[in-house]
Structure 1
């Protein structure tokens, strides 16, 4: 019997996820109940007094080496559960927030003695609960090993701790050969002394008095459509449970109200519709009177008791929820309308306060639009931080494709291109444009882009920027209409493959030629073209003609690789092999690696398999290639924003989207502590499943990656028309039914219309 381990990555809670499990993709909800129906923001011309303001709570010096384990409401006060100390000597403390935002310790004696003999650690997850009579209970997720349950429930009893953990949480279950314990991720207490625990599989109702199980039902049965939200949030007010519901993509689309019915569990009582426009997790807090507060990267919202409409209290860009370098853990609202948010970050815990200030005024006097085809954490971070430094300027990030559409494959890039053309030619275009997936040359030739040379050249000459990356879009006349804000490396990871055998496409072709064992695994024609065409896309056309000197050797190498792979007519199911198949199905994979944190996975796989990692042709993928609309009324502000987007301050944050083009930020990220990005899962090696830890790599590897970034010279660009032409023209050639000359003729014929534009 094997044990199931789930990926454990704190950065997933940022709404980044993750390289291994991030499928948090947000859709749109329309109609009554949409949380964006009501806005309180005034137009820039109006002076509006009174608004919510974000401030940070100063934490006590005593918390310096401790972690917040929980924030919660007790009565109508904000309380904290804090864990600290060394291994085996962990202490738990309860604190409350008083007048003047002062924090006072109010730990009961039983909690102080609890760690004795319990082997608690500060990394454990704890939830402190209290019934109507003031009796306290502590639930702990205290994972030690796969052979023992992680759940413990203690009750305050005569100044000491009594273990009343339900037997169900102590008994292992088996599913598809994996052992696991069905223990709650979240627990809450009702006013009737019932403890409700929600896990990935079930909703358990426990009698807090003795830990006996009152009822248990499958969590999937709690929703009529969709599933419970990924964060498994649960709260109880009176005898009503509130559960966050998600659609099939993981988007929160409703807040379920469930009636607790004794031994019968929970039954549907109602629903408050909810929607999300941004790529983020949503958090809720319910007051005793049924008023609900919600927060995500879209902003802060309130839904009054008995209502289903949400009122926006604060724009997301004015909150820490829009920042990518911190992630929310929970929010708590009080009856006076104040809301407290607990954020985690690499520098530790933060508590942000959101209060209504009747004298605060809206300061925005200038608004710009930053257009991007695909949603981006980095761009959102840039807009938020720039607004914090310049409250009078608001940068709206307008993403044509949500991450839902990006990962589902539903994006229509051609329609997006046409829509942007229409807005630009009508004079309603954005102020800044991220040119990824767009035809940069077309916009530049029409005079729609501002020359960035005056901004970039000084920053390159003084070493601020990695000129090997940022000069990729320099024209022959020295003009520059766009610059990548980040970039990715093309790495090859090979098992039983020497570095020199995968350092280039030609080397790969020679290495696999004549081998009976498939190195890359089967591919369709389109998959093979997609993987290798970026190596020649910038050189395939010359003087409006197909460059045969570039095309022919590329075709010959592609044929050798195709002969080793075996070309499928189509892929009806499954996917092409990737880094997760290197231990079993293939010997070589090409891996686009977007940043130091993301590089942890290929290097961890290489260490596990004793494989080699090399940079392929010193190639890099430009990311977030940004330009300024030359017709914008805010060119000077747009230029200042671009300088900020290229700054060390902003680029030092790793959002899993690329390496920084700022030289000092590259060094900062290389030396960063990546322990917060570590993850644990399983990996298949030749038919056996092993435990797999994606851990921080060595300083030597980090420095090596830095050198690869500085040495990158080949800019891998995309051109969907060239890719389509190659895919349509090469099926017969790669299957051995056409010669290389016939393949070249087919490519040239397919590109005629493109060449005529």
Structure 2
């Protein structure tokens, strides 16, 4: 079992699911006023408010360094005592060194590390490179059993700068048995942080550990910067000044910014300048500076204008460059330089605008890819609904409609949750049929998904990704279910057969259940462009039957525990939305006999891995289409439309080419499977080549231990899934206004506040008002 998965299973899922970004600042930070030429980095925020005047100058310019050849794992890049750069690759057993700021790299095999990697069931769990070139690493041998406390024994090795290595015996406490990360400080000492958040200075000769700092549980960031050790948990950063042994005063501005950034991508590069104590960060939102105790985080470069804004790129190290700029190292091995150019425009002169109701990581990925080939274009992402604004979907759509009518609308619209048909009827979208044919001439795509919105009038919307609503269970339970009524009959029957079982589907609340059921039924709620009240009443009637059977054994104490869990763990979305996708918790429900059936969306490689592993380990389990009011449903994601009034059609279609490319869509962002077939196939390539094992274990309330081993799907299993996808022909999207109305009113129906008929009437009245506008 992979210890990193044991220690990080929920946060790995969370990190992959979490999406979103801070909006690009609309005003200059620091002293830069509107229309003023910025003469220093602190005055150039790179915002968009000054775009039209285009008089603001000054921007950090990004350039790529050489990626170290063969690098497999970049966790930290450090500045060595001689001024060179160093990277220790714990998975390859290689040390990379650069004397010219990352332009060229030398490699050096680390024999003691390679010896460990060659042992069966070995895992190197942490690694740290010292300023003098020495190296520390920890490892476990999973086949070696456990110690007297039931823990897998962790071993430690130190290799000095001359290449002499020896085992180190660290005198850690029982509660600190999981070493999370290790770094060397500017003083040459080794510092360790454990899962408990306790930070120690380690004596490599005696093994003695001296506590120097304590942060919240589950530290996410641990790095050194000259005279400082920086450690961050999920919601705060603690900074130790090594020379004085003092922990700097807690900084609420820094903590607030940090917590938002790590919630988005779980990574952030941080440095403290030894010269003046200024703090700098590199993360999804961009490059920022901060004076300790100051009231603001100063934006030096927006994420939208750099690789930092790419959701697949995670900044892991931030260093001052010898040229006065910055170096940012990313987890995928890329290293970029950022040098301030006072004559460069704060934003590129040409602009392309993309609008979506909510953040879309695939679009952000495409923006980064497009920017590399089109540095003269600033791609501005406009988000209708953000955490910072109290805008609801109805208001956001109303504002978008007004801009479209005025001829000043965005160039590209992400149509998820939008009144797509209304835009088509008004002639506000371009026909994309010719573009779709061009795509198919250059690559392989799921034709039924790509052409889902084809009609005699034209093709005005193209999905970039999609999710698959499925039901999984034994053949006896699945039976011949097709409709929502069939599903309700099955749930009621299972409850009667298994009166002591906690649930049937694994849901606890009305919100959770409705978030799942809508995936197979939402297309039925509109008929010929009109709201179908009868279909919605039927939906609420069957949902109520399911909920009453599902909820029969849930005690108030269990509801309270569930609420505590779902509110204390940050899933980056509502728990109901998270739980509507097939995940490990669903598999445990089946394995632990706490549910009879799984119903939800497949939308990532992890979902398929979970499903095929469940089919191998739980006898007789299979999967089929989700029973619902509609048949052969898939859930389109990232549905793209081009504004018929765009003033730069060529650039808009160039961006679409980047968006639908294999390079962009092959990234698994937990927002659906790519419509590009080659990108789809790449989802299921095990990057470790079968070397890394994944597994989870848990205990039921009655103490039964459940183990679940995760395996990658075989080619045959992937091909079978592709055949299944080929049968899907009903796009399961509806306007966000309708989906929200059914969900909110549906909760009232399920809790007994109103009948299904009354609920359908209430929804109908709301939709009548909405359509009248």
Please state which band the TM-score falls in when normalised by the shorter chain. 0.7 to 0.9
Give me the whole-angstrom Cα distance separating, in 1, the residues matched to 2:294 and 2:762: 63
1:532 to 496, 517, 532: 517
Give me the whole-angstrom Cα distance separating, in 2, the residues matched to 1:452 and 1:500: 41
State the match for 1:713 in structure 2: 729
State the shift of 1:471 in Å. Answer: 3.0
1:379-413 deviations in whole A, cap 9, x for unaligned?
111111112122222212223445x689xxx8733
Q: How does 1:36-47 map onto structure 2 within 5 Å?
A: 38-39=44-45
> Where in structure 1 are there 5+ consecutive unaligned residues?
174-179, 221-226
Q: Say what the alpha-carbon RMSD is for the aligned residues.
A: 4.8
2:612 to 595, 600, 603: 603
State the match for 2:505 in structure 1: 520
1:681 to 696, 712, 724: 696
2:413 to 427, 433, 442: 433
- Give the secondary-structure state (helix, strand or coil) at the position aligned to 2:457: coil
Q: How does 1:624-703 map onto structure 2 within 5 Å?
A: 624-670=638-684, 673=687, 679-684=694-699, 687-703=703-719
1:207-265 deviations in whole A, cap 9, x for unaligned?
45533233355323xxxxxx88x522232533x43344653xxxx7xx64434587xx6
State the shift of 1:542 in Å. Answer: 3.8
Give me the whole-angstrom Cα distance separating, in 2, the residues matched to 1:536 and 1:681: 33
1:472-498 deviations in whole A, cap 9, x for unaligned?
3345x5233322111110121225745
State the shift of 1:127 in Å. Answer: 0.9
TM-score by length of 2: 0.76
State the match for 1:619 in structure 2: 633
Deviates more, 1:658-667 or 1:370-379: 658-667
State the match for 1:511 in structure 2: 490
State the match for 2:569 in structure 1: none
Give me the whole-angstrom Cα distance separating, in 1, the residues matched to 2:611 and 2:461: 30
Give me the whole-angstrom Cα distance separating, in 2, the residues matched to 1:91 and 1:678: 19
- Give the secondary-structure state (helix, strand or coil) at the position aligned to 2:516: helix
TM-score by length of 1: 0.77
State the shift of 1:320 in Å. Answer: 3.2
State the match for 2:13 in structure 1: 18
- 1:74–1:421 CA distance, 2 compared to 1 (3 A): same
- Give the secondary-structure state (helix, strand or coil) at the position aligned to 2:221: coil
State the match for 1:284 in structure 2: 270
More helix by share: 2
Q: How does 1:150-169 map onto structure 2 within 5 Å?
A: 150=154, 152=156, 154=158, 156=160, 160-168=164-172
State the match for 1:258 in structure 2: 240
State the match for 2:99 in structure 1: 97
8 Å contact from structure 1 (residues 66, 82) kept in 2: no
Deviates more, 1:327-336 or 1:197-206: 327-336
- Give the secondary-structure state (helix, strand or coil) at the position aligned to 2:488: helix
State the match for 2:36 in structure 1: none
> Where in structure 2 are there 5+ consecutive unaligned residues?
32-40, 567-575, 580-584
1:243-293 deviations in whole A, cap 9, x for unaligned?
44653xxxx7xx64434587xx64334749443787333202345424554
State the match for 1:300 in structure 2: 287
- Give the secondary-structure state (helix, strand or coil) at the position aligned to 2:451: helix
- 1:55–1:157 CA distance, 2 compared to 1 (3 A): closer
1:14-64 deviations in whole A, cap 9, x for unaligned?
xx953577557766899988999742689585696985331231536xxx4
Matched, 1:343 2:333: no
- 1:154–1:552 CA distance, 2 compared to 1 (3 A): closer
Give me the whole-angstrom Cα distance separating, in 2, the residues matched to 1:673 and 1:4: 15
Give me the whole-angstrom Cα distance separating, in 2, the residues matched to 1:633 and 1:330: 40
8 Å contact from structure 2 (residues 59, 301) kept in 1: no
State the shift of 1:561 in Å. Answer: 3.3
Give me the whole-angstrom Cα distance separating, in 1, the residues matched to 2:540 and 2:117: 66
- Give the secondary-structure state (helix, strand or coil) at the position aligned to 1:538: helix
Give me the whole-angstrom Cα distance separating, in 2, the residues matched to 1:744 and 1:309: 48
Matched, 1:188 2:170: no
Give me the whole-angstrom Cα distance separating, in 2, the residues matched to 1:311 and 1:420: 30
8 Å contact from structure 1 (residues 321, 328) kept in 2: yes
1:435-468 deviations in whole A, cap 9, x for unaligned?
2222223333444333333433554688854332
1:680-728 deviations in whole A, cap 9, x for unaligned?
4334467423343433122221112212222211221234554566567
State the shift of 1:639 in Å. Answer: 2.6
State the shift of 1:621 in Å. Answer: 0.4
Give me the whole-angstrom Cα distance separating, in 1, the residues matched to 2:97 and 2:302: 30
8 Å contact from structure 1 (residues 469, 661) kept in 2: yes
Deviates more, 1:731-740 or 1:543-552: 731-740
Give me the whole-angstrom Cα distance separating, in 2, the residues matched to 1:460 and 1:25: 30
- 1:674–1:138 CA distance, 2 compared to 1 (3 A): closer
- 1:152–1:665 CA distance, 2 compared to 1 (3 A): closer
Q: Work out the number of aligned pairs and report it.
A: 705
- Give the secondary-structure state (helix, strand or coil) at the position aligned to 2:605: coil
Give me the whole-angstrom Cα distance separating, in 1, the residues matched to 2:87 and 2:310: 25
State the shift of 1:637 in Å. Answer: 1.9
State the shift of 1:598 in Å. Answer: 3.7
Give me the whole-angstrom Cα distance separating, in 2, the residues matched to 1:99 and 1:343: 15
8 Å contact from structure 1 (residues 448, 631) kept in 2: yes
- Give the secondary-structure state (helix, strand or coil) at the position aligned to 1:214: strand
- Give the secondary-structure state (helix, strand or coil) at the position aligned to 1:485: strand
State the match for 2:463 in structure 1: 484
More strand by share: 1
